[in-house]
């Protein structure tokens, strides 16, 4: 976290008071000096990532009141480390802390305490990516070489503004992923099935790279968005492989025997999903029934037997069409299921 701020330190040095001196107490209420002339507490920003030295500004005036009260307000750009949790990115909240502690003087020699209003936000400016949710401040102590040192923690909780990510990441991602399912709606004879699937896969891979650049890099936890994108990428790759497999089935020569497992899949799919008019569990071929009824009684059994054999016969082109329809339903179900699960998880994460 990078923040532009200043700290206001106050303490009393009885050696610098003149309020009991009648010569000066009525005329001079305060004087100004610098660090080179008076004592300043050795304080550092404990979790700084850019400057580990003492908070110091040799040119900054320090106000000394006649009672010996000293006010020192050094300011700077403070870059501090912040442990982040990207599980619910981009609907996440992050809490960052600025930690101040003393150097050289233990807690028994120099103790840090908080003012009545420890954090003043009058000069706070809204950030385009984050919304400030809450602030808090606490005092504690840290140990170095078994010696306690005084410490103050200023914590800031931010919530990510997600309107940008919804318009530029989430919604386009859903639309792009949904296009993968419709590769199985393209007839093999159209000659565009493989080209369409590869184009969608390439576009999704490029988009995944762009999204990955915006996700904070951390290995302590995995973003649900990244997991969802990788699952959808796996579905896109498998869709290309299945499209090649369907094209290969469609172009098989008719004289080649159809394996038994393909016959079983085609028969089951045609009866359950009505993918083939003959043998559909919810449709009947009335023409066939009429023909059987009009035949002579002695030939009825032969016609019925021939009808059953014809009912279970499939060509390579019919099997390819059945596989297309079956895969379309499977991929559409997986896409809806995974998307709903992702939306529910992200909604719960944003409400926590």
Residue 298's pLDDT band (cuts 50, 70, 90):
very low
Strand partners, 143: 148
Taking the chain, what is the end-to-end CA distance rounded to the nearest angstrom? 23
Write the pLDDT tens digit of every residue in 216-242.
776 677 888 888 888 888 998 999 999
Query: Residue 171's pLDDT is what?
Result: 87
**pLDDT tens string 67-90:** 899 999 999 999 999 888 888 888
Mean pLDDT computed over every residue of the chain: 82
Decide if pLDDT at 306 tops 60.
Answer: no
With cut-offs at 50, 70 and 90, classify the pLDDT of residue 301. very low
Query: What number is the average pLDDT over the span 52-64?
Result: 90
Please tell me whether residue 147 adopts helix, strand or coil conformation.
strand
> Domains in the chain, ordered, with CATH?
2-161 (2.70.170.10), 164-276+314-351 (1.20.58.390)
- Phi then psi for residue 6, to 5 deg, are -140, 150
Nearest 5°: the CA angle 127, 131, 133 is 140
Q: Under a CB-based contact definition with an 8 Å cutoff, are residues 245 and 259 in contact?
A: no
| Cβ-Cβ contacts under 8 Å for 319 (sequence gap 6 or more) | 249, 258, 262, 265, 266
Q: Residue 284: pLDDT above 60? A: no
Residue 145, pLDDT above cutoff 60: yes
* Among the ranges given (42-51, 131-140, 297-306), the one the predictor scored with the smallest mean pLDDT: 297-306
Residue 274 φ/ψ region, left for φ over 0, alpha for ψ in the -120 to 50 degree band, beta for the rest: left
* pLDDT confidence of residue 307: 41
Residue 346 has pLDDT above 90, yes or no: no
Contacts of 81 (CB under 8 A, 6+ apart): 47, 48, 49
**What pLDDT score does 155 carry?**
94
What secondary structure letter does DSSP report for 186?
Answer: S
Position 169 confidence tier, pLDDT thresholds 50, 70, 90: confident
Q: Does residue 177 surpass a pLDDT of 90?
A: no
Does the pLDDT of residue 158 top 60, yes or no?
yes
Assign residue 146 a region (left: φ > 0; alpha: ψ between -120 and 50; beta: otherwise).
left
> Residue 129's CB: how many other CB atoms inside 10 A?
11
The arithmetic mean of pLDDT across residues 266-282, rounded, is: 60
Q: What is the dihedral of CA 64, 67, 69, 70, to 10 degrees?
A: 10
When pLDDT is averaged across residues 26-41 and rounded to a whole number, the result is: 87
pTM: 0.73
Question: 11 has which bridge partners?
Answer: 70
Mean pLDDT for the stretch of residues 36-62: 90
168 pLDDT band, cuts 50/70/90, is confident
| Count of Cβ atoms closer than 10 Å to residue 46 Cβ | 20
What's the pLDDT at 28? Answer: 81
Helices (H) and strands (E) in the chain, counts: 8, 10
Count of other CB atoms within 10 angstroms of residue 152: 20
Distance CA 83, CA 91 (A): 16
Cis peptide before 90 (omega within 30 of 0): yes
> pLDDT tens across 111-126, in order?
999 988 899 998 888 8
Q: Is the pLDDT of residue 297 over 60?
A: no
* Ramachandran quadrant class, 259 (left: phi over 0; alpha: psi -120 to 50; beta: rest): beta
Angstrom distances, CA of residue 178 to CA of 192, 204, 346 = 18, 11, 19
How high is the pLDDT of residue 91?
87
> Residue 8: which pLDDT band, with cuts at 50, 70 and 90?
very high
């Amino acid at each position: 976290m990078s923040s532009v701020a200043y700290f206001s330190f106050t303490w009393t040095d009885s050696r610098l008071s003149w309020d009991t001196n009648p010569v000066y107490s009525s005329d001079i209420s305060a004087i100004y000096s610098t660090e080179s002339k008076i004592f300043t507490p050795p304080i550092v920003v404990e979790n700084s990532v850019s400057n580990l030295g003492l908070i110091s500004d040799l040119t900054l005036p320090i106000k000394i009141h006649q009672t010996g009260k000293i006010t020192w307000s050094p300011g700077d750009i403070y870059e501090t480390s912040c442990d982040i949790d990207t599980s619910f990115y981009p609907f996440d909240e992050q809490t960052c802390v600025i930690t101040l502690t003393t150097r050289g003087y233990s807690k028994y020699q120099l103790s840090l305490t908080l003012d009545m209003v420890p954090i003043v936000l009058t000069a706070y400016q809204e950030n385009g990516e984050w919304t400030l949710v809450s602030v808090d401040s606490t005092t504690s102590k840290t140990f170095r070489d078994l010696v306690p040192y005084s410490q103050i923690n200023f914590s800031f909780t931010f919530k990510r503004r997600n309107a940008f990510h919804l318009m530029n990441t989430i919604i386009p991602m859903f639309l792009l992923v949904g296009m993968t399912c419709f590769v199985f709606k393209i007839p093999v004879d159209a000659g565009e099935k493989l080209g369409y699937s590869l184009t969608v896969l390439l576009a999704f891979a490029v988009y995944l790279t762009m999204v990955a650049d915006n996700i904070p890099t951390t290995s302590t936890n995995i973003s649900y968005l990244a997991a969802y994108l990788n699952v959808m990428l796996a579905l896109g790759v498998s869709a290309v492989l299945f499209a090649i497999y369907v094209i290969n089935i469609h172009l098989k020569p008719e004289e080649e025997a159809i394996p038994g497992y393909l016959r079983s899949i085609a028969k089951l799919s045609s009866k359950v999903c009505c993918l083939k008019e003959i043998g559909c569990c919810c449709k009947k071929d009335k023409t066939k029934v009429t023909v059987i009824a009009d035949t002579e009684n002695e030939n009825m059994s032969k016609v019925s037997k021939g009808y059953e054999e014809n009912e279970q016969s499939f060509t390579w082109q019919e099997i390819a069409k059945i596989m297309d329809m079956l895969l379309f339903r499977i991929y559409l179900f997986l896409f809806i299921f995974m998307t709903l699960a992702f939306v529910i998880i992200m909604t719960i994460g944003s409400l926590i």
